[in-house]
């Protein structure tokens, strides 16, 4: 069983007990969050495709931890003008554990 969900503008393929890394989402560790934007669902026998979302389907997850990605360096340079800028950036993320994929009744 798996589903494709949309979270913060990105799409993720998830199954129960998966741990995925999504863009930073508010909440404390241990809080439960719910993803209502389910694009696709497959249970092993049949599949359902949303237009664009499947009404009534949701994925429940629990926040495992918050963190920041590895640092990337952004360098800007203009030739012949003694202009150089070096900046570092670390993108925050949230790691979540998928608890269940269900349909509202």
Confidence at residue 3, expressed as pLDDT on a 0 to 100 scale: 96
- Counted domains in the chain: 1
Of 58, 43, 62, which Cα lies nearest the Cα of 104? 58
How far is Cα of residue 38 from the mean position of the Cα atoms in its chain?
12
Mean pLDDT computed over every residue of the chain: 96
> How long is the chain?
105
User: How does residue 97 score in pLDDT terms, banded at 50, 70 and 90?
Assistant: very high
pTM: 0.84
Half-sphere exposure of 102 (CA within 13 A, CB side): 8
Confidence at residue 105, expressed as pLDDT on a 0 to 100 scale: 77
Question: Hey, CA dihedral for 39, 43, 45, 46, is it positive or negative?
Answer: negative
pLDDT 10s digits, 51-80: 999 999 999 999 999 999 999 999 999 999
pLDDT: which is higher, 90 or 105: 90
pLDDT digits over 2-47, tens only? 999 999 999 999 999 999 999 999 999 999 999 999 999 999 899 9
With CA atoms as reference, report the closest residue to 101 among 27, 48, 26, 28: 48
Give the domain extent around 57.
2-103
- How far is residue 103's CA from residue 93's CA, in Å, rounded to a whole number? 27
**Which residues are within 8 A (CB) of 104 and not within 5 positions of it... i.e. 6 or more apart?**
56, 57, 58
Identify whether the C-beta of residue 22 lies closer than 8 Å to the C-beta of residue 96.
yes
């Amino acid at each position: 069983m798996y589903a494709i969900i949309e979270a913060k503008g990105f799409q993720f393929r998830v199954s129960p007990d998966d741990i995925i890394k999504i863009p930073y989402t508010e909440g404390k560790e241990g809080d439960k969050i719910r993803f209502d934007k389910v694009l696709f669902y497959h249970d092993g026998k049949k599949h359902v495709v949303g237009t664009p979302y499947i009404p009534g389907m949701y994925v429940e997850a629990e926040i495992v931890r918050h963190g920041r990605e590895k640092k990337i360096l952004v360098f800007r340079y203009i030739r012949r003008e003694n202009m150089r800028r070096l900046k570092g950036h670390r993108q925050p993320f949230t790691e979540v554990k998928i608890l269940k994929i269900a349909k509202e009744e």
